[in-house]
Amino acid sequence: MELKAVLEVKDLHFSYKKKKVLHGVDFSLYKGEVVSLLGPNGCGKSTLIRLMLKLLESDGDIKLGDKALQKCSHKEIAEHIAYIPQYHNVPFNYSVLEMVLMGRISKLGIFASPSEHDYQVAHQALQKAGIAALASSSFGELSGGQKQLVLLARAIAQEVNIFIMDEPVNGLDYGNQIRLLELIDSLAKEGYTFLKTTHYPDHALLVSSRVVVLNGGKIIADGKPEEVIHSQMIKEVYGIAADILMHEKHRRCLPVFG
């Protein structure tokens, strides 16, 4: 039986004024996957994500389930997809719990206040993200790694199955990078679907069921991590020499200096 894509892009082209950014991109996302989108700066990764969230308009064929994305309202999209940006500061001094409750907005009416159920869902999301003890803390006073976990908890509270993450480990120290990747891996085993952009082949090798490589606005590879990430691809995409080595159960990408 053929798998049904939860999000599908066909023959997608996009330009900023006269600058062509995407050239005929075909891409599908399936339930329960962790897909890492690899590629150099300026290759079109962030643009592709914005198009998939309808933050940019396109004439291309993008489907959310069986429905054309162009016909979906942003509220409908938020009922299926959570976008998790790189951690950021907010203008007001919200608590962690208040930040997570914002994930409930798509479930509430315009003037509705959070119900007891909404608070329960928010607390469960904090628990799942492993940061329940931070509920009353000020979001602005957290470390970068903690802020990223709060944004992930907010997405969990949104009660969707598709998470799109743009450079989730950017700016995090090494320990928080690994802890965040471990949490993504754990959530994927519960049935959540992830699409995450990354600059790190090692992270794609560690936590991915599939790797998609975007270069020059085109997808040049799409498949299992061990099939896609190899020395020739690293040389073509990043212009450096690298060896792919096996360490216990995991592959590692080792750049070659000199």
pLDDT of residue 225: 95
Q: How far apart are CA 214 and CA 228, in angstroms?
A: 12
* Statement: 1-80+160-226 belongs to CATH 3.40.50.300: yes
Going from the C-alpha of 244 to that of each of 96, 226, 234, 236, the distances in angstroms are: 40, 9, 10, 15
Across 104-108, average pLDDT: 83
Residue 21 CB partners (closer than 8 Å, separation 6+): 14, 15, 44, 47, 217
CA distances (Å), 53 to each of 21, 98, 173, 226, in order? Answer: 17, 24, 28, 29
| pLDDT value of residue 197 | 94
CA neighbor of 59 nearest in space, from 8, 7, 14, 6 = 14
Radius of gyration, CA atoms only, the chain: 19
Query: Beta partners for 193?
Result: 162
Q: Residue 182 corresponds to which tokens in the numbers above?
A: 């471990």
Instruction: Write out pLDDT tens, residues 203-225.
Output: 999 999 999 999 999 999 999 99
Answer yes or no: is pLDDT of 2 > 60.
no
User: How far is residue 234's CA from residue 221's CA, in Å, rounded to a whole number?
Assistant: 12
Residues carrying CATH 3.40.50.300, the chain: 1-80+160-226
DSSP, collapsed to helix, strand or coil, labels residue 239 as coil
What's the average model confidence in pLDDT over 117-122? 95
Helix (H, G, I), strand (E, B) or coil at 55: coil
DSSP element (H, E) containing 215: strand 210-215
The model's confidence at residue 87, banded by pLDDT at 50, 70 and 90, is low
Q: What is the pTM of this model?
A: 0.90
